[in-house]
Amino acid sequence: MKLTIGEKIKALRKRDGRKQEDLAIALGVSNQAVSRWEKDGSYPDMELIPAIANYFNVSIDELFGYSKDREEKLRTILAKSDKAIVESGDMAECVEMLRAAVEEFPSEPKVYMNLGFALDFLGWKEYGTRIYTKDGSDYAFEDTEYNSQNVYWQEALRAYEKALTLDISSEDRDVLTQRMVLLYAKMGYFDKATALAAKQNSLLMSREFLLALANEGETKDKYQGEAIIDLLNALKTVVLHSVGTKISFFTKREGISLLIELAHLYEAVFSDGRCGRCHVHICELYLNAALYEARFGEGAEKAFEYFKKGFEHKKSYESIRNQGIYQYTAPLVAKVTFPTENVLALSKHFWLEGWMGVFTDALKERIQSDAKYAECFTN
């Protein structure tokens, strides 16, 4: 069997964006020698093989093309970590597995991405995030001194930054960019967050807008539906952040009303009640409205009405997971589908260690008085 080590060397070199000269210098050989290897005109001396494998961060077996077992191991690691991340499983165990995988597969972007996601989630669980207010200011500020000490977020950013230097899809790049901007800002790296954000396309030059413009008929209808959903979700994120960081707004009726009206806009778009992934976004709007209503509005009874809506949307969201292909049916989004196995699980601590930790005692007592919501007080 003819060895293809020369082709493998060439592929690895191009993968890493290196020149023949770079490899030649590292190995102490001539450029012509590397050129002959890549053309299969000759083979490297056996004593150079470990150095070549080390240079490209691969095993000797992989250098010679014997990588089936290695590829199977990588697939298993990624499948296990994907499952843990989607289902909000044991992130500590997942992190340890992926840290080891980074050492073994240093050129695999998906390993770095999943490590970043797992560390990101673990950082939220172990440290959370803090904000504070200043006398005379109308804004809430990130406690960057506290947040920047989150060792899991520090490591997550390093994993994200590494993944961005590798060959990843535009969709993955968008996801990583969003997570990085958020963590940079929470940890006080505002210059980095702003610089990264400024490199991205404007809203009007987004993939969602352009695909809708680029087609007609049913295809156009599908892309328009996807754009509507993505815009709603982006609007929800911006509005929640805006309301939650402006004290004079979330402590008054205007802020609470805005959250409810945005929830109503979602419900108008999904006019038949089948909101798909958006159930969780609507849930978030109602639960935040319940929180602000209980603290600054009419009190527990009115807040309970919003809580009930949020609870119903959470249950609807959870009911769609692992149900095959989901098809929206409301007119504006009826051509949009998605696979439900990719729907993220909500944390098992969603209620008890999440919302029940911030709701007022009066609201918690009102919720606890109805046996229908008993699950909110158990892990």
What is the per-residue pLDDT across 353-377, written as a single tens digit (0 to 9) for each? Answer: 899 999 999 999 999 999 999 999 9
pLDDT of residue 214: 95
Query: By the 8 A CB rule, do 256 and 250 touch?
Result: yes
pLDDT of residue 12: 87
pTM, rounded to two decimals:
0.77
pLDDT of residue 156: 98
299 half-sphere exposure, CB direction, 13 A CA radius? 4
pLDDT of residue 2: 47
Q: Which residues of the chain have pLDDT under 50?
A: 1-2
pLDDT of residue 67: 61
pLDDT of residue 66: 60
Query: By the 8 A CB rule, do 6 and 38 touch?
Result: yes
Which one-letter DSSP state was computed for residue 44?
Answer: -
Distance in angstroms (rounded) separating the CA atoms of residues 334 and 352: 36
Dihedral angle, C-alpha 262, 266, 272, 274, nearest 10 ° = -130
Query: What DSSP string describes 296-334?
Result: HSS-HHHHHHHHHHHHHHHHHHHHTTTSSEEE--SGGGT
- Per-residue tokens: 81: 């970590």
Query: What DSSP string describes 122-191?
Result: HHHHHT---EEE-TT-SBEEE-HHHHTT-HHHHHHHHHHHHHHTS---HHHHHHHHHHHHHHHHHTT-HH
Query: By the 8 A CB rule, do 296 and 252 touch?
Result: yes
Distance in angstroms (rounded) separating the CA atoms of residues 40 and 42: 5
Query: By the 8 A CB rule, do 303 and 363 touch?
Result: yes
